Chain A
Amino acid sequence: MIALLVGNDGYAIEREIEKLKAQTHPLWRNFNVHRFSFQQLDAAVSAAFCLPFGEGCKLIVVENCDFKQFGEIGLDILQPLPQLPATTHLVFTAAAIDKRLKVVKYLLQCGRLKEFTLIPPWREDLIEQAIATQAKQVKVSIARDAVSYLAGAIGNDTARMVKELEKLAVYAGDERITKEIAIALVPATAANSLQLATALLKGQATSAIKLLDELLSRAEFPLTIVATLITQFRTWLWVKSALVSGKYSDGEIVTFCGIGNPKRMYFLKQEVKGVSVSSLAKSLSVLFELEVAIKSGATPDLILPSLLRITQLVNL
């Protein structure tokens, strides 16, 4: 059996390999599972053609293949693959694959391709789906709102998703995981920083103070908070000034503001509706000053007054 595991989701690939590993005989596992780098291709192939040691089957993994580097020699080495013993799994892992290459075409003839790409971070629906599926696999019951909260908190990090679900499963035991439990055990610091930015933009001092307190009591690094705020305000400033000038289409604004997800434009427009360019610019300069102050050794206490100043600016 030959398999090509391709994609940027390293953790998912690792889990797939783990599944194959489980098929080998536990007592003989140390003799029958081997990992090679792609430079050792000939060694890997010759290992694959040896019969399994003792009982069960054999697993050979060729890691991080760069198929371009295989070349003619690689193709020659791989020629006997159709005669691979049925008891042996030969697995190639790679971050990307170019199907026009001769080697790749040949490998696809002999084996099957499985792709593991990370979900793009803005496709929250797909992330939610992935979390729900994973929850089903580890047999925990989880509330719908908890799933959507987790999707926001974790993002597209598969490894973290699995770990957090394990933790939640241990906490809940046989009970259903509610949103409250998820919030308590899985902090969403990045999401909270973004919420903080939104609160600031709307000039809601109370909620801004609460969010900041929450972040600081979780030992969130002050510079990270400020950096998130700066990025967010910068995007808003760009979008707002582009909108005010009235010369650009949404598509153009998306490209020169560097917004990854075109659909976000709609929300950005809604967000910047009530604020003026000048208050955004002033807020941004307050934030930059704050960043400099923190970098030159100011205490986190300084953050709050600066943020209050921004809420005042926005409310003017």
Chain B
Amino acid sequence: MYRPLHLKYRPKNLQELVGQDYIKTALTNAVTASKIASAYLFAGPRGTGKTSTARILAKSLNCLESKTPTINPCGKCSSCKAIDSGSSLDVSEIDAASHNGVDDARELIEHSNFAPAMSRSRIFILDEAHMLTTASQNALLKCIEEPPPHVVFILCTTEAHKVLPTVVSRCQTFNFRAMPLAAIVGQLEKVSKAESIAVAEAAMLAIARTSDGGLRDALQLLSQLSLLNSEITPTQVIEVSGGISEKDLTDLIKAICSSDVLGLLQLAKTLVDSGKTPKLILSSLLAVYRDLLLIKVTPTNQNLIAGTIGCTHLKKLAARIDFETLDTAFTQLHKSESQLRVSTNSATWFEVCLLNLMPKMAVPISQNNTAKNSPNSLKLSAQQNGHSHRLGRVGSHNAPTPNISSKEPEADLKAIWESVVEAVKPTHRGLLSKAQLVKQDADSWVLTVAPNYADKFKANLELVQRIIGKALGRSITVTIAQQEKFLA
């Protein structure tokens, strides 16, 4: 009879448990020293071996081949077989997701008082324990804390935060971790050798990546792929797991980076035509952007890459884009994902979204300048000096040069003023933001003010001078001009 690989290669004793070394040792020691706690809580992500460990522990405690709990359950005695088939009288594996009420809890408590029928202890495995209602968890409290001596509770959960803290504190907690890539690849290697499935090295890595640290998912994918009856390649892995191939994704990103509108649209069309939904493409792109951000920030962290594109390709792509573009693109993608979900015309939305990802070409100059200016007054005054030199030279020729001052200095003045406003105390900010800097010499500045504020500024001229002087770190004279005059 054919059995799926993840069931066939389920660990049979604690030694075969993959990836959880500390838990393995702790439980082995507990069994050998027969220091079994009355309640265990196994918490961790899916596919990391919680239920398997619970079953192994049950077998170890109850195996009939030896007189005491053993770390090597035989797997042949009636107790072990019954546990495997789920028909054991003493080991009840309860799916807490469907038996979550108070009545179920009360029934369980009643049952716990009976002596074991054929073996040493009664074991209750509560799978998905986080689905128990609060009331039923409370009902179990007393029983979990002081169960009859022959009873062991094993609670398994993927979401430990949903189990009441009062329950958690009564259990010995073991936190299973998501399996590292290497452990999954190792296990895949072992299984594929035993089953004589031909798998390329890179394909195993791809399988491990798509499985998110869950061994069950990885083995399931392997057994699915083994039906192809040829050597498994990374491309096949991506195809079967419903992803988008590395090449397509790189092409997409390249087209986006180089703002190649036509190429991008064509690529998108071919992808959609080949049966990939826009949602899938977007989420794969999202994963790639996440990886790109990661590579951009820390080029050395290779083992955290989640997408399908390999590290070397990513590095090449990342070199072409800066962080801000990546970040805005990422936000854009994330927003579009939800838009796509609700819209009826998803193809158009998808194209719009892709086009939006292209880096913006035109960046206004003034914006650039303000970004560079920090409110740090030291930097500011240094820059000021530079400007005043230039302006001073212009002034010495005694000719107002409209050509030069047409665009850039104006923007500069604006930037300087903004940074001054930024640097003063918040209480003065409101007042100063009403004014504008229009002319600047070495030690005298001309400000324009809207007519309704002009009186206020003129009355407080000294104060304004002092405020600005403080922000710059040197004293200056300020002249106030009304706005209309200058406009006229």
Chain A interface residues toward B at CB < 8 A? 11, 157, 159-160, 163-164, 166-167, 169-171, 173, 181, 184-185, 187, 205-206, 209-210, 213, 216-219, 221, 224, 276, 293, 298, 301-302, 304-305, 308-309, 311-312, 316
Can you list 24 contacts pairing A with B, beta carbon distance less than 8 Å? A160-B169, A163-B172, A167-B26, A167-B174, A170-B26, A171-B26, A185-B22, A185-B26, A205-B298, A206-B298, A209-B294, A209-B304, A213-B304, A217-B213, A218-B44, A219-B43, A219-B45, A219-B159, A219-B175, A301-B306, A305-B327, A308-B294, A312-B327, A316-B374
- Please, which residues of chain A bring their CB within 8 A of the CB of B293? 304-305, 308
Q: Which B residue's beta carbon lies closest to that of A223?
A: B161
A209 touches B301 (CB 8 A): yes
B33 touches A170 (CB 8 A): yes
- Please, which residues of chain B bring their CB within 8 A of the CB of A302? 334
**Given A171-B22, A217-B178, A308-B297, residue A157 in contact with residue B304 (CB < 8 A):** no
Q: From B25, B289, B294, give the contact of A171 (CB < 8 A).
A: B25
B64 close to A (CB within 8 Å): no
Chain B interface residues toward A at CB < 8 A? 22-23, 25-26, 29-30, 33, 35, 37, 43-45, 158-161, 168-175, 177-178, 213, 286-287, 289-290, 293-294, 297-298, 300-301, 304, 306, 323, 327, 330, 334, 374-375
**Given A163-B169, A184-B22, A301-B287, residue A221 in contact with residue B159 (CB < 8 A):** yes
Q: From B29, B33, B44, B300, give the contact of A219 (CB < 8 A).
A: B44
Q: From B169, B172, B289, B327, give the contact of A309 (CB < 8 A).
A: B327
* Distance to closest chain A CB from B371 (angstroms): 9
Of the candidates B169, B289, B294, B297, the one having the most CB atoms from chain A within 10 angstroms of its own CB is B297
Count how many pairs of residues, one from A and one from B, have CB atoms less than 8 Å apart in the complex: 99
Measured in the bound complex, the distance between the Cα atoms of B323 and A312 in whole Å is 9
Q: From B35, B177, B297, give the contact of A170 (CB < 8 A).
A: B35
- Please, which residues of chain A bring their CB within 8 A of the CB of B43? 219
Of the candidates A160, A167, A224, A309, the one having the most CB atoms from chain B within 10 angstroms of its own CB is A167
- Please, which residues of chain A bring their CB within 8 A of the CB of B169? 11, 157, 159-160, 163
Q: Which B residue's beta carbon lies closest to that of A212?
A: B304
**Given A167-B172, A293-B334, residue A217 in contact with residue B33 (CB < 8 A):** no
Measured in the bound complex, the distance between the Cα atoms of B21 and A184 in whole Å is 9
**Given A163-B172, A301-B290, A304-B293, residue A217 in contact with residue B177 (CB < 8 A):** yes
Interface of B is mostly: mixed
Measured in the bound complex, the distance between the Cα atoms of B246 and A276 in whole Å is 41
Of the candidates A173, A185, A187, A219, the one having the most CB atoms from chain B within 10 angstroms of its own CB is A219
Measured in the bound complex, the distance between the Cα atoms of B294 and A304 in whole Å is 8
List of 6 A-B pairs having minimum Cβ-Cβ separation, nearest first: A217-B178, A171-B26, A159-B169, A205-B297, A184-B22, A206-B298
B177 touches A218 (CB 8 A): yes
- Please, which residues of chain B bring their CB within 8 A of the CB of A210? 301
A170 touches B30 (CB 8 A): yes
B298 touches A209 (CB 8 A): yes
B29 touches A311 (CB 8 A): no
B160 touches A219 (CB 8 A): yes
A163 touches B159 (CB 8 A): no
Interface of A is mostly: helix
Measured in the bound complex, the distance between the Cα atoms of B293 and A224 in whole Å is 24
Measured in the bound complex, the distance between the Cα atoms of B35 and A171 in whole Å is 10
* Distance to closest chain B CB from A275 (angstroms): 13
Q: From B25, B161, B170, B375, give the contact of A221 (CB < 8 A).
A: B161
* Distance to closest chain B CB from A244 (angstroms): 9
Question: Apart from A173-B29, A217-B213, what 17 extra A-B contacts exist at CB < 8 Å?
Answer: A157-B169, A160-B168, A163-B37, A163-B169, A167-B37, A167-B174, A170-B35, A171-B25, A171-B29, A173-B33, A206-B300, A216-B178, A218-B177, A219-B160, A224-B161, A301-B286, A304-B294
Measured in the bound complex, the distance between the Cα atoms of B290 and A216 in whole Å is 16
* Distance to closest chain A CB from B264 (angstroms): 22
* Distance to closest chain B CB from A94 (angstroms): 19
Measured in the bound complex, the distance between the Cα atoms of B169 and A165 in whole Å is 12
Q: Which B residue's beta carbon lies closest to that of A181?
A: B22
- Please, which residues of chain A bring their CB within 8 A of the CB of B168? 160
- Please, which residues of chain A bring their CB within 8 A of the CB of B290? 301, 304-305
- Please, which residues of chain B bring their CB within 8 A of the CB of A298? 334
B29 touches A218 (CB 8 A): no
- Please, which residues of chain A bring their CB within 8 A of the CB of B35? 166, 169-170
Of the candidates A163, A216, A224, A312, the one having the most CB atoms from chain B within 10 angstroms of its own CB is A163
Measured in the bound complex, the distance between the Cα atoms of B174 and A160 in whole Å is 12
- Please, which residues of chain B bring their CB within 8 A of the CB of A213? 304
Q: Which A residue's beta carbon lies closest to that of B41?
A: A163
- Please, which residues of chain B bring their CB within 8 A of the CB of A170? 26, 29-30, 33, 35
- Please, which residues of chain A bring their CB within 8 A of the CB of B374? 316
B33 touches A163 (CB 8 A): no
Q: From A163, A173, A305, give the contact of B173 (CB < 8 A).
A: A163
- Please, which residues of chain A bring their CB within 8 A of the CB of B304? 209, 213
- Please, which residues of chain A bring their CB within 8 A of the CB of B33? 170, 173
* Distance to closest chain B CB from A89 (angstroms): 19
- Please, which residues of chain A bring their CB within 8 A of the CB of B334? 293, 298, 302
Q: Which A residue's beta carbon lies closest to that of B32?
A: A173
- Please, which residues of chain A bring their CB within 8 A of the CB of B300? 206
- Please, which residues of chain A bring their CB within 8 A of the CB of B170? 159, 163
Q: Which A residue's beta carbon lies closest to that of B331?
A: A305
* Distance to closest chain B CB from A296 (angstroms): 8
- Please, which residues of chain A bring their CB within 8 A of the CB of B159? 219, 221
Q: Which A residue's beta carbon lies closest to that of B213?
A: A217
- Please, which residues of chain B bring their CB within 8 A of the CB of A218? 44, 175, 177-178
* Distance to closest chain B CB from A168 (angstroms): 8
